[in-house]
Every structure is written in C-alpha cells, then in structure tokens.
Amino acid sequence: MLILSLPGFLLILALLFAQRSNMLQLQEQQALMYANQVATLQHAEVAATQTLLQQLAYQPDNLQHHDGRCPQLLSNAQHLSPSFANFGLATPDGNVTCSLSKISGPISIADRPY
C-alpha cells in the first residue's frame, strides 16, 4: 500500500515545490516593482530639490543677511517645501553663516561630502 501511494506523495511534493517557486518569483517581481517606484520618487525629489536650489541661487540679492539671521526668502522656501528639515547659508569655505534651525555655535560643513 505504501508503494502504491508513493507516486501520489511525490506528485504532491513536486506541486508544492513548483508553487513555492512561483510564489518566490512573484515576490521578487513585486519587490523589484516597489524598488523602481521608490527610485522614481527619489529621482523626482532630487530634481525638485535641484530646481529649488537653482531658483534660490539666481536671487543672490535676496539672500543677503546680517547678524546670523537668515533672509526671509529662506523662510518662505521652507514654508513652500515642508519636506526639508532646514535651510541655511554657508560660505564657500564651509562656514555656516545662518540657519533656520537653532544652532548652538559655529558650524563648518567643509568636511561633508555635499
């Protein structure tokens, strides 16, 4: 009796392995689709950030500031772009001259890759 049921068990086992393989392929396709969606959103965020920074850079007169207080233009930009944590200005050598977020002392971004 055991010998007669062995082909049936083997068939069921083969079907289970095939089903598992199909499920893994489906999960892989879904993961790739999700990764592509995230990459597309990230690309759009980077493009929007570049556009915003270019628009700010083309208005150097509106970016003048005194006493470490940031110009109103940066505050307006932050209100229009709430996904940004902070806006600030730095000198070409990396010294931060103003920040919309409170800073406790002098900050240099010269050592940072951006």
Extents of the domains making up the chain = 7-99
List of residues 6+ apart from 48 with CB closer than 8 A: 81
CA 70 to chain CA mean position, Å? 26
For residue 95, the SS3 value is strand
Q: Is the pTM above the cut of 0.85?
A: no
Helix axes 2-57 and 72-80, enclosed angle (nearest 10): 150
Tell me the pLDDT tens digit for each residue of 25-58: 999 999 999 999 999 999 999 999 999 889 888 8
d(CA 73, CA 98): 13
pLDDT given for residue 45 in this prediction: 92
Average model confidence (pLDDT) across the chain: 89
Tell me the pLDDT tens digit for each residue of 55-68: 888 888 888 877 77
d(CA 109, CA 87): 13
pLDDT given for residue 41 in this prediction: 96
d(CA 87, CA 77): 8
d(CA 98, CA 82): 18
Phi, psi of 52 (to 5 degrees): -60, -45
Tell me the pLDDT tens digit for each residue of 69-85: 888 888 888 888 888 88
